[in-house]
């Protein structure tokens, strides 16, 4: 199967894809990208609908495109099952999180200064950071474990973490650095 051709899924598989993304949407604290490790498990490891390379490429293409970060969900769905896959993954991702966000935002606005609400929002910070680290590892692991690219990949990750933790530099500079490092074949 070519890297950009999708497979035809049965109605049951499409419904399963929709349902899985529906559930993941409710765990997407910090954005849909934080659920990428489970998307990978479901789409690549469990069902073998696409390869590791297709998964990573789908995320990279969507993240490079202008627009919301959630676009990667549509590119994953497209890679799995074409237009119907994109619809299944996007609706599965957007419907529950949108409805829940609307309801919780209205409820929380009335209780903004309560002790419980402050504790809840403070507790989300380490959860979001942990989910983003897991996603970063998932995307970097194929390169960090490849002997030919391990040193460059680990160095690039370390530089990225250091710059983001200690400066207010735009992440786009780090994306550009990654592109240069990749173009030179160091990663």
For 169, other C-beta atoms within 10 Å of its C-beta total 10
- Enclosing domain of residue 81: 11-122
The two structure tokens encoding residue 179: 């592109």
3-state SS, residue 90: helix
Residue 102, pLDDT score: 92
First to last CA, the chain: 25
Domain count, the chain: 1
Mean pLDDT split into 10-residue runs, the chain, 187 residues: 61 96 88 92 96 90 85 95 96 92 89 88 86 82 82 86 90 86 81
d(CA 181, CA 87): 35
What is the per-residue pLDDT for 29? 75
The DSSP line for 98-136 is HHHHHHHHHHHHHTTTSHHHHHHHHHHHHHHHHHHHHHH
The pLDDT value given to residue 7: 63
In a domain, 175, yes or no: no
| Residue 167 included in any domain | no
Tokens of 139: 């995307």
Instruction: Look at residue 168 and tell me if it is in a domain.
Output: no
Sign (positive or negative) of CA dihedral 179, 181, 184, 186:
negative
Residue 79 within a domain = yes
Per-residue confidence (pLDDT) for residue 3, from 0 to 100: 46
Q: How far is CA 119 from CA 116, 123, 124, in A?
A: 5, 6, 9
75 domain-assigned? yes
Residue 22 has what pLDDT? 95
């Amino acid at each position: 199967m070519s890297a950009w051709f999708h497979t035809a899924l049965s109605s049951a598989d499409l419904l399963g894809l929709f349902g899985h993304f529906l559930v993941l949407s409710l765990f997407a604290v910090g954005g849909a990208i934080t659920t990428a490790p489970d998307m990978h498990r479901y789409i690549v490891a469990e069902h073998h609908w696409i390869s590791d390379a297709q998964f990573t490429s789908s995320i990279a293409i969507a993240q490079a495109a202008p627009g919301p970060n959630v676009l990667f969900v549509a590119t994953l769905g497209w890679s799995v099952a074409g237009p119907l896959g994109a619809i299944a993954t996007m609706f599965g991702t957007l419907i529950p999180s949108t409805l829940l966000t609307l309801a919780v935002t209205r409820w929380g606005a009335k209780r903004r200064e309560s002790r419980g609400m402050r504790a809840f929002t403070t507790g989300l910070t380490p959860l979001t950071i942990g989910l983003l680290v897991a996603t970063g590892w998932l995307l970097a692991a194929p390169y960090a474990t490849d002997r030919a690219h391990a040193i460059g990949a680990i160095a690039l990750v370390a530089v990225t973490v250091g710059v983001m933790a200690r400066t207010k530099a735009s992440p786009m500079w780090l994306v550009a650095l990654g592109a240069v490092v990749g173009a030179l074949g160091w990663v």
